Structure formats: structure tokens, C-alpha cells
Structure 1
Amino acid sequence: MRIASLFTGIGGLELGLARAGHRAVLACEIWSPARAVLAARLPDAHLHADVTTLADLPGDTELLTAGFPCQDLSQAGRTLGIGGTRSGLVGHVFRLLDERAIPVVVLENVSFMLSLDRGAAMHRLAGAFEERGYRWAYRTIDAQAFLPQRRARVFLVATRSDLDPADVLFQGDVAMPPSSTTLASHAHGFYWTEGTRGLGWAPDAVPTLKNGSTVGIPSPPAILRTDGVIVKPDLRDAERLQGFPADWTRPAEEVARASLRWALVGNAVSVPVAEWLGERLRDPRPHETERDGPWPTGRGSWPRAARFDGTTRHAVRIGAYPVFLEREPLERFLEHPGTPLSARGTAGFLSRAEASSLRFAPGFLDAVRRHLAARRGERDAALAA
């Protein structure tokens, strides 16, 4: 299908769809570092800067994609809701659909929007599609099904064609294989900037890559390696943890500081999830209606998966892993050594962790203390020299 893409970012959704045979003809993105990446990586797509000035979509558009801004919907963001200045831009999706009814629409956003403001974002999105005669289905999918990054996102497919969105999204449902990791056998990811209320602990994986700061302050996770060293992953490995080729975002440095590449990566759609979706769009399979359940009443949040068949809304019993691909351990996946977490960063994390009531894996805090002692020793030796 020919794709018109809104809020394109660095093209993760479009790259994945392209690997499944689809093609972007329009990419709309306002942030200049991301547009620099798109100009280099999606050279055949027409670039438009501002969705608010986009009057219409190309006449041959068959698929509209929109990974609309999540800042107002995310737990890590401002949680202003769907009416916030950034996330409210999704309204332009429906303005453009009113100009041209595109047969298939794909939206992507954070899973927190299912519960924020008692599901207000989903009420608005679902209602807007239903008013325009679309059937819809959505599913929470975790990128860890494909890569060693824990990243749950909602993918919504809406259609005004013979294609049933349930036949696209509800294929495959597997359990995550049981894990027997230890600090000695596998690397473990966590948020070194946390430690008071949460940790983001991820055995043999990293927690969700974040977008960092709009002023270019990176926010990579930490990885405790089996040798006891705590590192922040190299940016090239962060790109790979999203499914991009290494250095995919390098063109951004032509217009912005290099540190902003972390925000570009953290905001992106994971490529292999998009590829899986693209393959399902090409090869839909009948939805197993026995997965359907009654629509929940008296609760604020929406189900983790659901569908609207044109008449009735159904909750759908299906998990976040359509597959669980075999992969090499995280420590071998990483192609670059990363940067050891500094003494200052380690000390700050340790002080928060020790003062918290969080429970930690056996030996974890001791490993952090040993890393801190090693970093302080290196610092003192450098000062003495």
C-alpha cells in the first residue's frame, strides 16, 4: 500500500512497513532533526513540515499512519491527556480523513493512554472513527517479542474497506518464555535515573528507551553486565534496540547537536513491530471470535486489546506477544562497549535506592556499590596523575 505518514519521527513505522512491501509517499514531521533523517532515509517520500498546514493527502494514499505525539499521554510526560497541546494534534488525522476517506489507518501510542483520564484518549479516538464509518481494532504489543527492549505500545488499525482490522491485529498469541537469569549469567537493564519509586528492571533486556530532553540531555538506561560494570549503551546500539540500522539518525547532526539523537531514538516506533504489522496487512487471517469478551462497564481504563465490528465493541483476550523470536543474550547483542556509569550518577542512584522501600534482585545493590568504588578509584587515580 502507498502510505501517507503523519508525525513520522525518524520513520520507524514506515521503515518496518517498507520491509513488508509497503511504500511511503508522504512524510509529515515538524522537528528539523527528524526531518533531516527522513530526507536521507526516505528519499522517495515527499516531506511536509507541519501537519496543521497540510491541506490534503495524496490522492493515491491507501494507508494513513500516525504515531502522534505522546508527551501528554505518557507516564513519563506531562499527562495532560488527549486535549494537551501536543497529543491533541491527533485531531488533524480526522480533519484530513474528512477531506479524503483513506481506506486503512494505523495509529500508535503509549499504552498509558488506555487508563489516563479514565480512558479519555481512547473514547475520543474510537468515537471519531465510528462517526466516520470505520471499524477499528487495537492491541497492546511489546517490542520485546522481537528485540531485547521492553516497550509496550498500542497499535490501532481502522478500516473503511473489506479488510477487517481484527484480522490484522489478532494473529498470534504466545507467552514469554520462562527466564532463569542471574546477575552472573545475563546482563540486566534498569533506569539509573530512578530508584525511589521504580527501577524498570529488565532481565536480559533494557527497559523502554525514553526520549530524553528536548534540550538534548540524553536519558539512556543502564545495563549491569555480567562482569559487574554498569554502562549506558552506545547510541548505535540504542538504534539497533529499536530495530534500526546503526547510525540511522546520524543525518540529524547536520542540523542539531548530536545528543538530540537520543530523543529521536526514544520517540521512535520499533521497526520490527511495524514490519510484523505490515506483513499482517498483506496477509490477514480470520479473527478467532472466541477471544471476544463483553465490553467492560464501570471501569475507567480500556482493555489491553479490543475491537469494534461496525455495530458492537468487544474486549479481546489476547496478550502483548504475537511471537517471541529467539535472540542472542543482550550482552552479545550489544556491539559497542558503552559508557561506564559515572561515580556521580552511580552514587545518586545508590542513595535513592538505599532510602527506598523497593525490593531488588539478590546482589544487585552490592554490585552497584562495587561499581561505585571502581569508578571512584579511577577518578582519584586520574586526579593524582
Structure 2
Amino acid sequence: MSARFSFQLAATDGAARTGVISTPRGEIRTPAFMPVGTAATVKAMLPESVAATGADILLGNTYHLMLRPTAERIDRLGGLHRFMNWDKPILTDSGGFQVMSLAALRKLTEEGVSFKSHIDGSKHMLTPERSMEIQRLLGSDIVMCFDECPALPATQDRVAESMRLSMRWAARSKDAFGDRPGHALFGIQQGGVTQELRAESAEKLREIGFDGYAVGGLAVGEGQEAMFGVLDYAPDMLPADRPRYLMGVGKPDDIVGAVKRGIDMMDCVLPSRSGRTGQVFTRRGVLNIKNARHQDDPRPLDEDCSCPACRSYSRAYLHHVFRSQEIISSMLLTWHNLHYYQELMAGMRAAIAEGRFAAWEADFHAGRAEGDLPQLS
């Protein structure tokens, strides 16, 4: 195990990259997908099961954990890793996005954001300094700067003002983070879909200096075409010798497109949330287990998948337990989706290392274009 945080690039294929992030808690193979453990749990999954899917790192939500059970309580109980029984790396977001999207009666100032909890209406203030303190109490391995992220579409002036505020907060986050060997602080590039603003943000972040860099402010309503348009230039604005993290993405084809454009890390609630709502990701695209066509089908979700849901259960059974609202449905479908996402990442890592990413990508899109298996007559 490394005593420090470091990133080693192993191979590139076009803009796509594969490598390893080393931390005191273990290695993260990139490109990496991080399952989201919002409230110190990946919903419907045991930590051991998440690890069994191939996940090297989880994401925890600062906003949710600061409100319940509180960062101070988690710290008293030995930190987030011990609290949730996950001994691999954890990345925590800054809380900024959730404050903007979930909190009521929020007020934004230069100092930070005051808001009322969506849980009980209690009043809180989140600043760059407080965000760094909460993430230190949680004990996360990768800490995110506190930033502000306006929903798109927004006016150019609003995006520019927000980005510059985030850059001032990034400098304050760096000061408050201090010297924490073995822990990393990532800066977050903002600027909406405007290349000049993205360049200004990247320049400021490089000036401050971070262990890794995120492309923020995407997957907030701009659509895939606009997102890819930004990713065609934004990763190259960030240091090549540091990990690049695209926040809150996404669907399988979003992820493949992001890796193709030089992204190393991603997170999204989609595989776990979809599992709970009966949406299943497979090599042949997306299927909905609640549809009646599956009720007499003895076949697995995906014949080439080795997850427990595909190894041991039929579509007919999975349809039945979903329609019956049995808990095992969320467990098995979430496991399958997370397994599929990790296999996607492993496939891309191997393809990049072997210089055949373009062929792998073509096969990925061809498989999804086939659609689900024909219905049994």
C-alpha cells in the first residue's frame, strides 16, 4: 500500500487513459466508476457485495452525512470507513450540489451558503472551511472543494459569476484543507458550456494546485451533445499527470464517451437507483423487468453476466419479486447493475492498455443497438 496519494498513467489510446491512483487504503484502477453511498450505504447492498462487483472506491455525500447522523458523531465512532464497514478508499463530495438542489430557503453569499435542512428544517451554514472540516471528520481519502454549481440553462453572466465565486472558494478550501499526508484534495472546474470560462477556471485551479481535478457543472440538464462538446476540450485544460473526475455521470454511453475524451473517474446514482425501480443495464441495452414479457421467461437477464442475479435467477423470478415489492428484487437488480458498470470499466481499461479502444467502443454500441433478446413465444 502507498503511504501517499499518487497517480500513475499506464497507457493512453487517443484521449482515453488508463492508470492507477494509489492511496493508503488501496489502489483505484482508472478509468474508475464510483458507486454512490449517499448516507454511508449503497442502497440495497452490503459493502462486501459492492466490493465483489469490482468497485475500488465509493462516494459519500457530505450534505446528507452532516445532517444525519452528523460528521461529529461519525468521527467519534471511528470515521466513515469503520462506521460503514468499507476499508477501501472513499471520496466525499463537498455538499455544494446538494445544498443547491435539495435545501430549502438557501441564501448564497461570499462567505458560503446558509440553508434549512430538507429533513427537519434546522438551519445550517456551509462554507469552504466548514466543508473541509466535515470531510476531515468523516476521514475520506479524496476530499472535494466546496463549489457552487448553477443549474443549466443559465445566463452567461450567471455562469461566470458562479465560476469565479467557486474559484475563490477553491482557494479557501485549499487553505482550510492544510497538510494531510495520504489524503487528497480535488479542485472543481466550472464554467458551464463556455470554453473561455472553462479555460479561466482551469487556469485558476492550476495556479492554486490540487491532487486531482474534477470537471463540474455538467450532467445538470444540458444534454449529452452539449456535455460531450465540453469534454472535447475541458479535460485537456487540466494537468495530464493528475486524475480527472467527471462528477455525476452517468448512463453507460455517457461514461464511454467521457472516457474516450480523457476522463478517469465518474460517479452516479443511476445503477443503484435503476435497480430499485426495475431498470436493468445489459450488453444489449436497457430492459424493464416489470414488463409482462418477462413473466414466463426462464432466461437470465444477461447470459454473459456472472453476477448472482444472472447466475442463479430467471427473468420470470426477478419479474415476480419486483411486482411483489420484495426486498430481494432491489438487492439482486442493484447488484447486477453495479456489476455491469464495473465490467464496463474493466473492459475499457483492458482495451486502452491494448490500444484497441476504438474497436471496443464500436462493439459496445453495436451490442446496445441489438436491443433485448426476442420475446419467447
**TM-score for both structures, normalised by structure 1:** 0.32
Bigger relative contact order (CA 8 A; separation at least 6): 1
Larger Rg: 1
**TM-score for both structures, normalised by structure 2:** 0.32
The answer to which structure has the higher helix fraction is: 2
